[in-house]
Amino acid sequence: MTATTAPKANISPSALNSGAAVRILPSGAFRAHDGRPSGLSGWLIDASIAAALPALKPIGSSDWLIDYEHQSINSGANGKPVPVAGWFKRLEWREGDGLYMADITWTDTARAMIAASEYRHISPVFSYNDRTGAVTSVVLHA
pLDDT at 129 (0 to 100) = 94
pLDDT digits (tens, 9 = 90+) for 100-138: 999 999 999 999 999 999 988 888 888 899 999 999 988
Q: How confident is the model at residue 139 (pLDDT cuts 50, 70, 90)?
A: confident
pLDDT at 3 (0 to 100) = 57
| Whole-structure pTM value | 0.83
| Phi, psi angles (nearest 5°) of residue 74 | -90, -15
pLDDT at 71 (0 to 100) = 75
pLDDT digits (tens, 9 = 90+) for 3-61: 566 667 778 888 888 888 999 999 999 998 888 898 899 999 999 999 988 666 655 66
CA 83/CA 71 separation, integer angstroms: 8
CA 134/CA 97 separation, integer angstroms: 16
Q: Which helix (H) or strand (E) holds 139?
A: strand 135-141
C-alpha pair distances (Å), 119 with each of 1, 37, 46, 115, 116: 30, 26, 28, 8, 8
**Residue with the larger pLDDT of the pair 62 and 45:** 45
**Residue with the larger pLDDT of the pair 48 and 89:** 48
